[in-house]
């Protein structure tokens, strides 16, 4: 970018500053430079931490404000009362209208959200376009059966304490990818405290590696896909890869 002239000027300037070591001037110059540095730093931090998330995510409201607490109290089988396994082994996920109608043929109470639900959806027969916080990309295959039925995992491990929510959270949609913010996690830095804070591939891998370290037969990712450092497992080598019995793309991808 710089032309010869620019370069010449630069040298001159440098010469000037070194030749006139007036402290005050220098300090002031340093100060200004520092201020600019700080402005840049703070500004970009603000952009990165405060504005960027606002730009990245759009806020969406669930069509109906759903109260899990009330529902969990009203059913007998906990989560599986509504989020159940079908006979063919598939997982039903978010209930369809037909399921809700079982109880909500008519409004059960005075709650305006319920009235709205009955009016807009039950009577008209329109499915509720729920926004699914945990929706994964199409290339992901996830078996609820193997985790819940065979692995005996609790729903909370991945989904958190959603069953204790009285209101539906705002659904934050990533404008770029179209997926929920829950996949990457609330924390933009990607830090997590609890197992349910994030739902990325590394989070699957982390748990699986832990189990593998304990000697369980689970799928782990072959090196070098799983390049993230894991303190509790020695770095995988090609030797390890061959010995691992449960690995391969199609286990988690379709």
* Binding positions for other proteins, rule: CB under 8 A: 29, 32-49, 52, 56, 85-90, 92-93, 96, 137-139, 141, 143-146, 149-150, 174, 176-179, 184, 188-190, 217, 222, 224-225, 242, 244-251, 253-254
Residue number with CB closer to other proteins (59 or 108): 59
Residue 106 CB, nearest approach to other proteins (Å): 25
Q: Check if the beta carbon of residue 156 is closer than 8 Å to that of residue 196.
A: yes
**Residues 61, 62, 64, 65, CA torsion sign:** negative
Q: Check if the beta carbon of residue 222 is closer than 8 Å to that of residue 233.
A: no
Residue 69 CB, nearest approach to other proteins (Å): 27
Residue 133 CA to residue 136 CA, distance in Å, equals: 9
Q: How many CB atoms lie under 10 A from the CB of residue 61? A: 11
Residue 109 CB, nearest approach to other proteins (Å): 29
Residue 126 CA to residue 17 CA, distance in Å, equals: 75
Residue number with CB closer to other proteins (73 or 245): 245
Q: Is 16 exposed, middle or buried (0-12, 13-18, 19+ CB in 10 A)?
A: exposed
Residue 123 CA to residue 105 CA, distance in Å, equals: 8
Quote the DSSP letter at residue 21: -
Residue number with CB closer to other proteins (72 or 85): 85
Residue 234 CA to residue 130 CA, distance in Å, equals: 42
Residue 235 CB, nearest approach to other proteins (Å): 15
Residue 239 CB, nearest approach to other proteins (Å): 11
Residue number with CB closer to other proteins (49 or 232): 49
């Amino acid at each position: 970018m710089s032309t010869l002239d620019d370069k010449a000027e630069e040298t001159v300037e440098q010469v000037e500053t070194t030749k006139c070591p007036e402290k005050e001037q220098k300090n002031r110059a340093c100060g200004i430079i520092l201020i600019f540095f700080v402005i840049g730093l703070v500004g970009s931090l603000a952009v990165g931490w405060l504005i960027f998330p606002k730009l990245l995510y759009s806020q969406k409201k669930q069509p109906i404000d759903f109260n899990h607490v009330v529902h969990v109290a009203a059913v007998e089988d906990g989560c599986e009362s509504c989020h159940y396994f079908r006979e063919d082994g598939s997982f039903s996920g978010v209930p369809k209208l037909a399921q809700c109608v079982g109880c909500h043929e008519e409004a059960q109470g005075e709650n305006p959200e319920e009235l709205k639900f009955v009016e807009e959806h039950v009577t008209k027969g329109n499915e509720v376009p729920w926004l699914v916080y945990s929706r994964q990309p199409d290339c992901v295959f996830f078996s609820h059966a193997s985790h819940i039925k065979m692995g005996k995992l609790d729903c909370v491990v991945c989904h958190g304490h959603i069953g204790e929510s009285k209101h539906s959270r705002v659904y934050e949609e990533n404008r770029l990818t179209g997926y929920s913010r829950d996949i990457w996690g609330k924390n933009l830095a990607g830090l997590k405290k609890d197992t349910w804070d994030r739902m990325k591939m590394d989070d699957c891998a982390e748990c699986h590696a832990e189990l593998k370290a304990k000697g369980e037969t689970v799928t782990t990712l072959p090196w070098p896909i799983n390049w993230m450092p894991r303190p509790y497992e020695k770095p995988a080598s090609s030797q390890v890869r061959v010995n691992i019995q449960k690995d391969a793309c199609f286990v988690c991808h379709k």
